[in-house]
Structures are given as structure tokens and as C-alpha cells.
Structure 1
Amino acid sequence: MAGIIHPFYESHRADMEAAMRHRLDLAEAMLRARAHLTDMDGIKREVMDEFEIVLTQMPYVGGTASRMSDFFMRLMGFIAIGRVLRRHGVSLSVIGEIERETYKAQLLTVPEAERFASGREFMSSENQTLLREQAAKSHQNGFPEDFVYDFVEPGPDDNFEFGINYTACGFCKFAARHGDKEILPSICGLDFDAYATRGIRLERTQTLAGGASHCNFRFSRVSKD
């Protein structure tokens, strides 16, 4: 029996599916050369079919009221890709490489001026104020499958502008529920390029997926020479 897609995700379904097809086109050469797959039409169909399953599994975490809804909508498709590649015997390290390079290529299709403007907005004092407020709200457990996190102010000897400690991760919860733990690190790896392509340096030395008590995101601006 087919699952039901939450109305919020259903309203964004066309855009998410278009983004998935774009990713698969960008990944095609890597899938041939590194994963040694040849039936690209078949692989693409299989991934899109798996993505339909992922859409029914995606937890609702508040829609537009939660900044993490966007994370789910942008990155859950990589779960579908990882599942299909594992079924075809592709190693976890190769899956991570293909997904990260594909995501970077997709991000770079956005004009640089637009990407860096988004980065400046993220690093702005106004957004930091918003992040502090959202971090406090995340502890209220309005949605059990959501992320829980704390805003981190830099100390006098720190070289970052601000940080976020994620003490509960929506992707980790999803992976535990649906048997995707082994492909979860490939999702974690996407974070670095997501910020770097917007002119932001992310430093992170531990993750929940790796068994740590929290993910320690630390952000600073990248100087343009």
C-alpha cells in the first residue's frame, strides 16, 4: 500500500522532484566511472521510485515555521540515492564522494552573487538573533522528529563568529527509524559544501551520527581575495 505524503511536502513535491532529476543528470558521469553502473535510465528510475518512498517517510516538523523543514526538503533525496547505490553494491565511501560532488555541482549552478548574498544573510546579526530564538524553541519538543540545538557564542580565544550545537538530529532519527544508519555519514558530509559555496567556513569535529553527544558546527566568513 502506497504511503501518504504530508500536505506540506506535497505542495513542494514538483520542485523536489525536479531537483532530484537535476542531481541525477549531474551525477551520471560519476555513476558510470566510479560506481561502474551502466544502465543510467534504469538507475534514474529506481532512484526516483525510491524518492517517492522517502517522501512518504519524511516527518513533518512544522513547515515554514521550522528552518529545518528546508533541510529535509533539500537533502532527503540523497537518502534515496544512497539506498539505491547500496542495493547495487556501491561502497559507502564512493556513495559519499558521489553525493558530495553532485551536491556541490548543483549548488554551483546558482550564480555566485546570489550564493554569497545568501551567505552574508546567514552570518548577519539579524539571522543570529533569529537562530538564538529558534534554538530556544527547538527544546520545546513541538515535533519529536525535529532537530534540537543550542546557539553557541564565541569565547575570547575562539576564531569563529558563532556556532550551533545539535543535540538531536532529524536525519539521525529518520535513519534509525528506516534503517539508513550506514548511509547517514554521506548526508553529514554535504554540510561543508552547502556552506562553502555561500562563502562560509564550517568547522566541525564531531557528529551525532559518529557517536558524539552533539554536532559542533562553528561558522566564520571566508575572505575573498
Structure 2
Amino acid sequence: MLISRRTFMLGVLGAGCVLSSRPCFASIAQGIVAPLTDDQLNASFAGLCAGAGQLLAGRLSPNDLQAALTKARVLHARLLPLPDIGGPDNLVYSSFVVGPQYVALYKALSPYGVTAKEVGKLVYDLAAHSYAQQAPTLKANGERLFSPGYYAILRAWAERSRRKRYPMDWVQTVFRGDGTDYDLGIDYTECGLMKYFAAQGVPELAAYPCYVDFPASRAEGTGLYRTTTLAWGGEVCNFRYRKGRAVTQGWDKA
């Protein structure tokens, strides 16, 4: 996204932890990011594993937890480089980097009885904490989502997606709202993460990244409301943004 160029990483959650200043997740409101190398992606995932280790302490024995997270880091490295969806100029590039993270965590933890939903909640909690810590910075970028200049960027991005040049890409349309119910609408008719998880043999993961959109929007002040997604069985992912609206949805209310 054209506005800010940043590397998105997820820090560690827990008592006495040190939280990275850059989250693993990004929304389309945050602008075009700088390209991420495989080394940077692996470093980001190591931070996520550190946070996961804190949240899973007590659920697994220390030896099992260490073994699972070591395996996860190996799996993540093997899943790189990312499939091509047009690079960082694609506004969902920073969303796509989480695909290997979910897959690696799930495949490493599932032999120990950790379910796809539990992996989803684990990542959701880490991301929500990271977003909340950075709300002032994210909100400044979020306000740009509603500017005329950024609307033009969104429309061009959506038009490119409908050419379907990249098999793993999202496909979407962008439109203005009525200013009452919403200011900006985006309907996704194809989801890159759904395709990626299916290709990796773990389609059961697809529903869970959708939840992270809510704490992201809350931190950005972009007022997301959504009633359905492709991963939840809908025909579209119907994102509706209204500047300043309270985001009431989340993991328990979506």
C-alpha cells in the first residue's frame, strides 16, 4: 500500500515479554510494504513461536513444546519462498505472509492434540495484543483508507486482481458506501489464503485468519463490519468500513 513501507512482525505476549514494534499482520489500510526476504519472514515467525510458547506453557510439557516449536520453524523455512501474488505492490501481500505461519504451527502442534481452531485463537490473541500496542500509529494510517487518493489506489488494485494473473491471489471489487451504513465496501470473491491452505492440505485453517481483521480495524479506527466470508461458507467476504465506527466483532462475536 502506497503510504507506509514497513516490515510486519509479531512480537511476544506474556508477563515480562518484549513485544516487537511491528505486527505480523497488516490490513489493506496500511499501505504498500517493503519486500520481505525469507530471512525476515523466518525471523518474524520465530517471534510468533516465542509468543506461542508462552501461551501454550502448561498445555504441553516443556520438552514437547520445545520440540513442536522447533519443528514449526523448520516447516516454515521449507514453505518459503512465498507463492507469487505480485509482490508488495499487492495490497494483500502482508496478509499472505501469514499463510506459512499458520500451516507450520498447525502441522507441528496437531500431533500433540492442538486443533486448527486452537491455533487460530492462539494467533488471534497474539495479533490482537500487538495491534492494541500500536493503535496510534495504525490509526494514522487507517484514516487514509477513506481519502480520495487512496480510493483510487484501491480501485486500481481491485481491477488488477480481476485479471487473475496470479493463481494464489485474492479477487475483489471496491465501491463507495452511502456514508451512513458504511463509507467503503470491498467484496472478495476469491481468497488467496483459502487457496494456499487447500494446496497445503489443511483447508480447516481457512476460517481463522478472518477473525484477525477485527482487532486490526479496531486499532486503525476503520470501523469494519462484516456478516460473512468465503471461508465461513459465504459467496463473498463482505467488508464494510465506516470511519470511526466502533468495532464490536471479534473472536466471540463475528
TM-score bracket, normalised by the shorter chain, equals: 0.7 to 0.9
Q: CA deviation at 1:193?
A: 1.8
Partner of 1:220: 242
Aligned pair partner of 1:18 in 40, 43, 51: 43
Which deviates more, 171-180 or 72-81?
Answer: 72-81
Q: CA deviation at 1:43?
A: 2.4
Post-superposition Cα deviations, 1:85-135, rounded to whole Å, max 9, x if no partner, equal 22321133322221100112233444x332211212233322122101111
Partner of 1:3: none
2:153 is aligned with 1:126? no
Partner of 1:95: 119
Partner of 2:174: 151
What is the SS of the residue equivalent to 2:172? strand
Aligned pair partner of 1:211 in 233, 236, 240: 233
Which deviates more, 205-214 or 195-204?
Answer: 195-204
TM-score (norm 2): 0.74
Segments of structure 2 that go 5 or more residues without pairing to the other structure are: 1-33, 247-254
Structure-1 separation of matches of 2:173 and 2:53? 39
Q: CA deviation at 1:221?
A: 2.4
Q: How many residue pairs were aligned?
A: 212
Q: How does 1:62-211 map to 2 (within 5 A)?
A: 62-110=86-134, 112-155=135-178, 158-211=180-233
Change in CA separation of 1:87 and 1:53 when aligned onto 2, cut-off 3 Å: farther
Change in CA separation of 1:159 and 1:37 when aligned onto 2, cut-off 3 Å: farther
Q: CA deviation at 1:54?
A: 2.4
Change in CA separation of 1:93 and 1:187 when aligned onto 2, cut-off 3 Å: same
Partner of 1:48: 73
Q: CA deviation at 1:66?
A: 1.6
Which deviates more, 21-30 or 37-46?
Answer: 37-46
TM-score (norm 1): 0.83
% identity of equivalent residues: 23
Structure-1 separation of matches of 2:131 and 2:98? 11
Aligned pair partner of 2:53 in 19, 23, 28: 28
Task: Name the structure where helix makes up a greater proportion of residues.
Answer: 1
Q: CA deviation at 1:187?
A: 1.7
What is the SS of the residue equivalent to 1:218? strand
Is the contact between residue 99 and residue 197 of structure 2 (CA under 8 Å) also seen in structure 1? no
What is the SS of the residue equivalent to 2:228? coil
Change in CA separation of 1:118 and 1:11 when aligned onto 2, cut-off 3 Å: closer
Which deviates more, 169-178 or 11-20?
Answer: 11-20
Post-superposition Cα deviations, 1:154-203, rounded to whole Å, max 9, x if no partner, equal 147x5111011000111111122221111111222222122222222221
Change in CA separation of 1:71 and 1:92 when aligned onto 2, cut-off 3 Å: closer
Change in CA separation of 1:62 and 1:97 when aligned onto 2, cut-off 3 Å: same
Structure-2 separation of matches of 1:194 and 1:75? 17
Is the contact between residue 207 and residue 215 of structure 1 (CA under 8 Å) also seen in structure 2? yes
Runs ≥4 residues deviating over 6 A: none
